[in-house]
Structure formats: C-alpha cells, structure tokens
Amino acid sequence: MPVSREIHLVRRPEGMPSPKDFALVEASAPDARDGEVLVQNLYMSVDPAMRPRLTAGQALNEAMMGGALGRVAQSRSDAFAVGDLVSNRQGFREYFVSDGKGLTKLNPDPDLPLTVHMHALGMTGFTAYGGLLFIGQLKEGEQVFVSTAAGAVGSVAAQIAKIKDCYVVGSTGAEDKAAWLRGEVGLDAVINYKETPIRQALEEATPKGLDVYFDNVGGDHLEAALRRMNTLGRIPVCGMISGYNSGQSPVRNLSNIIYSRVMLRGFVGTDFMHLYGDFQRDMAAWLKAGRVKYQETVLQGIAEAPAALIGLMEGRNSGKMLVKLAD
Amino acid sequence: MPVSREIHLVRRPEGMPSPKDFALVEASAPDARDGEVLVQNLYMSVDPAMRPRLTAGQALNEAMMGGALGRVAQSRSDAFAVGDLVSNRQGFREYFVSDGKGLTKLNPDPDLPLTVHMHALGMTGFTAYGGLLFIGQLKEGEQVFVSTAAGAVGSVAAQIAKIKDCYVVGSTGAEDKAAWLRGEVGLDAVINYKETPIRQALEEATPKGLDVYFDNVGGDHLEAALRRMNTLGRIPVCGMISGYNSGQSPVRNLSNIIYSRVMLRGFVGTDFMHLYGDFQRDMAAWLKAGRVKYQETVLQGIAEAPAALIGLMEGRNSGKMLVKLAD
C-alpha cells in the first residue's frame, strides 16, 4: 500500500490564506476492492474559485477537493485499465480509491502537451469558451474587455475574442504579464491596473465602449466596465477575485445596467456542457495552429500545493498554476 | 391661440428634488400648420425613472418630457381627427403641436376607466408584464419577490406572478400600502421594510428561496434578494429607486450570482415590443375579471406636476401617480 500524502484545511483563513491554514498529512492509500480503481494523481490544479470554499464548503481536517489528472495504478473495475488517464476532482492528494464516479477517462491529444488538458483544453478553457460565446453571446467584431487577461481563464477568453475578430482589452496587475499580452498574445490594448487606475485606463482604452465584459475580478473592475457598457451589453461573470480575500467588493453603479439594458450572468462550466464537443474540436485546432497561446506555472510536489494556492491569490503565477505530483 | 402652461426644469436637483428646481411657465400654443395637429393633454404621468434624467438628459429651461394622454384639438393632418385620443411623451405641458411622430392613437376600452390606459393597461403595465415574463422568464409555481409592490409597476408584476400560481412576496414602506397588498391583492407575504429590516424580513418570508426577484429598488433590497436566490434564478432590473436621490446604492454581495448562477438584466419596455399585443389582450381580460387591481393618486392641474414628482420620490402616492390637466 503506497503512502498517500494529502493536504488538509485545518483552519478557515481570514483574508489572504496563510500556510498555517493547511497541513500536510500522511495516509495509506487502501487497495482497490471489487469495482474500484486506485488512482495516482500526476498533476493537480489550483483555481481562484477555491478561495470561497475555504470560508464555507470545504470540510476541515479532510483532504481538500480540486481538479486533478491521475493515472490508474490498480484496477478491479471493468471500466478502467491500469495506465488509463483520468480527470478527477480529488486533487490535494497523491492517491485515492474510486468506484469510478466522478472519473472521466482522458484520451490525450498526441500532438499537444499533457498539461494543456488541465487548462486551455480542459474545464479552464471550456469555462472561457462557453462563458464568452454562450453566456456572453459574443458576436464577431464586438468591443470586449477581459479582466485578469493573463490568467488561465482570462487568457483563453481574450484570445477567443481575438479569433472572433473583436477589439479586445485585457487587464493585469504585473508588467511581465502585460508584456506577454501585448507581445505574444497581441491584444488591442493592455491595462496594468497597478500603474493606471482601472477606471481611467479602461475609459481611454475603449473609445467605442464595451459590448462584452468577461468578469473575473468584480469590484472596481466591474464598476469601471459598467461605466463603458454599450446598449444591450453582456457581462458573463466567471469570478470576482477582488472580493475573495477582502470579503467585500461593493459595486456602486449597478443602476447603469438599466439605462444601457445590460445583462450580468454568473455561470460555471457545467451550465453549457452541450458545447463540450464543439469546444474540444475548436480549441485543439486553435492550440495546434498557435492561435491560442498559454503560460503555465508548475510547482513540484504535494507539499507545495498550499503555496500554489496562496501564490495564485497573490498573482504570483503566469497563466495556469499547477502542482506536479508524480511523473 | 390657447395659453399652454408648462413645467421647466430650472436647476438640477441635488438629492431629493425640491419645488425650487422647477418653474411654471406660460406659453402660447401655436396653431397647427399643414400636416400637424394641436394636442391638449388630459393626463400626465410621473415615473421613478424620471429622476435620473433630472441629473443628466433633461435640458434646463425647457418643458420637461414625460408620458401623457391628450386629445386632438385642431387637425391639419390626414392621420388624426379632432377628438382623437393620443398617447405621447410630451407631458408637463397643457398643449403642444406635433407632426404626428411620437403620437400613438388610443382606442380606449369602453369597459375600463380611461386612466387605466396610463398605467396597468399602458407602458407601466407592459413594463411589468414583459419584465416578469420575458426578461425574468417566470415559470408557473416559482418563488417570487417584487419590491415596491404597491407601486404602479410593482403591483402589476406581483399580481401577474399570482396569476401564474407563484408564491409572491412584496415589499413596501407604508402600513396602508402593506394592508392593501395583504387584503385586496392577496400576496403570500408582505414586508414593510420600515418596520422590519429587509434582509431579515425577506429571509423569513422565503423559506424556499427565490427564483425571480423583480427589482425596483436596488441597494439593500437587491442585497437581501441576492442572499436568497435559488440556482439559475433571474433578476429583471426595472429600477433602482434607492439610489436615484442618494446617488449611490452599493451592492456588496454581487458575487452570489456566481455560486447560484444568477442572471441580472436591466430593461425598458421597448425591449420586448413584440409582446405588446399579447399584453393588451391578457391585461384587459385580467382587469375586467378583477384579477389585476390597481390604485391611483391623481393630482389636479399642471401646477401640481412638480409636487407629483417629488411626492412619488417620497412614496406619498398609492399606486400610479397622475396629474389631471383637463377634462
């Protein structure tokens, strides 16, 4: 029986999470019983949406939950063979036993790196795709703003909008990320909100207003966007990271949605699963053609998982933040 | 040439409008020229949405704009005969000349009072109808909250939801209005937010959460509703009167729309004009069957128009606030 190290939440963070909120615990992975498989996780993902669950939802003193990619190490199930790759929600641990529920077999694209299935070609990219095209009803040539545009979701959303011939403004909080968005990605305008106040910068960057704002931030970014929305504009709300650690991010000009008849809609990827096939086909093609670029920050070993989550909140990642757990 | 008295905005109000922001001005109504009509207004409407226009949009030292119902007094147009009733946007004046643009001929229902065409059976009622059924996608049997439920729009929205077999909670700020909603209208729960804080009262009144919140208030009412929204809930935003005079009504828990995947959408009646025929048929039937009840507050004479607008902001109306200008 292998030792499975796992990360527990031992204290609910107040404000920014700290290493003391987490503990590394050693457990023994049990053997698979009839109908079960033992999975070894290879990579796990950390995501901004995990922060609210630390305050409520995630149980204390248990292995935390999160997206991961694993390989079947033992199988007593007809549905899985040893060596199968499986997407799962059992991150933050090295091994786990499953009856197969919640496991999705992955057939990786041989022409793409494996990790891309954990971001641009996985639920991260799908969240951007459906959020922009289905929730946001993006039309070709529109005026678009994406916040945290260098992030895992934001960078995909911004590039899909470019593929759809839109004018695209992205915001980020670091000069190296801004440089990547300007140079490598080629957005029409890039805002470093730590250098220029977002309200002023967005006004200058959007002479034709905004038809779609893909919101990952809330708070001051949403206020700035609400001032620029064109009639019948759409705001797919993917996240509001500005309030995740501070607890409150007031929005004072929400009444603008009346005058411009704007829609805001919160969503998660499972709201548009009927598009998953289209997404996989489109995204694989865009990645291979170099039309969607990405960055990854990969920390090494389960012990780094808390640091990955904290680093993500502090913006210390470039693109998708992953933790590699095994080869 | 008749004398036409009219109301000018002479100063932009700061906070609550005051009588000194307005002036009563005497003008001479010119005669109609070829292709024109002279209209005498009989009733004019005041609406919450007029308040933002006083801050920006409404020109100073000109007759104000607003919904009105008039009668053709002279006609040199083939399209209108003397005596025709016409809905128009030229309120706040006794007479005006028009080339016919912006006039809609009204064929009043002989079985209903004339004034009902200025609220329940007019754009006011249509705003409630389309806001609830089209923007809010109301389904039978859902859990519904309507703010300012004794107001002209709110009372219609609340009663349409009742007709659709929904559980309906209404809020108001006066005990006589609460009594009307409980007794005459028969809502399932009525909140007087001046007696019980809206957050607590709404929590107690919505044991099954909320599927639709028809928002006329914004601010604390919207915050309270966001705490109660069920998954995939909808918030048609008709108005945010809480911020019209105070200038700011911050919403601090907007991130709730992500976890519950809620849609907010600002709208005006012209967003769903394709439903106007359905609305007229349904609403006339409901009014005649006594299934939609209404209240009116009618002030007398053009000089009272500023008082009507200020009184509306202070909640001193019961139901629709009108000013009668002529018989």
CATH assignment of B3-119+294-324, among 3.40.630.30, 3.40.190.10, 3.40.50.300, 3.90.180.10: 3.90.180.10
pLDDT level of residue B46 (50, 70, 90 thresholds): very high
C-alpha separations of A247 from A51, A56, B253 in Å: 11, 12, 9
Within 8 A of A52 by CB-CB distance, chain B residues are 255, 259
Whole-number percent of chain A with pLDDT over 70: 99
CATH assignment of A3-119+295-324, among 3.30.930.10, 3.40.309.10, 3.90.180.10, 3.40.50.450: 3.90.180.10
pLDDT tens by residue, A198-252: 999 999 999 999 999 999 999 999 999 999 999 999 999 999 888 777 667 899 9
> Dmax over Cα atoms in chain B, in whole Å?
64
The answer to whether the CB of A17 falls within 8 A of the CB of A299 is no
The distance of Cα A70 from the centroid of its chain, to the nearest Å, equals: 19
Residue with the two structure tokens 């909670």: B169
pLDDT of res. A247: 67
Q: Do A218 and B264 touch (CB under 8 A)?
A: no
Average pLDDT over residues B167-181: 96
B133 DSSP assignment:
I
Question: Secondary structure of chain A in the HEC alphabet?
Answer: CCEEEEEEECCCCCCCCCHHHEEEEEEECCCCCCCCEEEEEEEEECCCCHHHHHHCCCCCCCECCECEEEEEEEECCCCCCCCCEEEECECCECEEEECCCCCEEECCCCCCCHHHHHCCCCHHHHHHHHHHHHHCCCCCCCEEEECCCCCHHHHHHHHHHHHCCCEEEEEECCHHHHHHHHHHHCCCEEEECCCCCHHHHHHHHCCCCEEEEEECCCHHHHHHHHCCEEEEEEEEECCCHHHCCCCCCCECCCCHHHHCCCEEEECCHHHHHHHHHHHHHHHHHHHHCCCCCCCEEEEECHHHHHHHHHHHHCCCCCCEEEEECCC
- The A residues from 297 to 316 touching B (CB cutoff 8 Å) are none
- The A residues from 239 to 258 touching B (CB cutoff 8 Å) are 239-240, 243, 248-252, 254-258
pLDDT tens by residue, B102-156: 999 999 999 999 999 999 999 999 999 999 999 999 999 999 999 999 999 999 9
The domain covering A128-271 belongs, at the CATH homologous superfamily level, to NAD(P)-binding Rossmann-like Domain (3.40.50.720)
Rounded to 10°, the helix A152-163/A123-130 angle is 50
Give phi and psi for A12, each to the nearest 5.
-80, 125
Q: What is the ipTM of this complex?
A: 0.90
pLDDT of res. B316: 86
Structure tokens at A60: 């204390």
Average pLDDT over residues A23-32: 92
* Confidence check: pLDDT of A155 > 70: yes
Please give the Cα distance from B250 to B222 (Å, whole number): 10
pLDDT level of residue B82 (50, 70, 90 thresholds): very high
Q: What is the CA radius of gyration of chain A?
A: 20
Domain B123-271 falls in which CATH fold? Rossmann fold (3.40.50)
CB atoms within 10 A of CB B128: 32
Average pLDDT over residues A76-92: 97
pLDDT of res. A317: 86
pLDDT of res. B52: 85
Q: How far B84 CA sits from the closest chain A CA (Å)? A: 33
| Sequence spans of domains, chain B | 3-119+294-324, 123-271
Average pLDDT over residues A79-97: 97
* Confidence check: pLDDT of B16 > 70: yes
The answer to whether the CB of B52 falls within 8 A of the CB of A259 is yes
Q: Do A252 and B248 touch (CB under 8 A)?
A: yes
Average pLDDT over residues B245-268: 89
Averaged pLDDT of chain B:
95
pLDDT of res. B268: 92
Shortest CA distance from A218: residue in chain B = B255
Within 8 A of B263 by CB-CB distance, chain A residues are 263-266
pLDDT of res. B244: 72
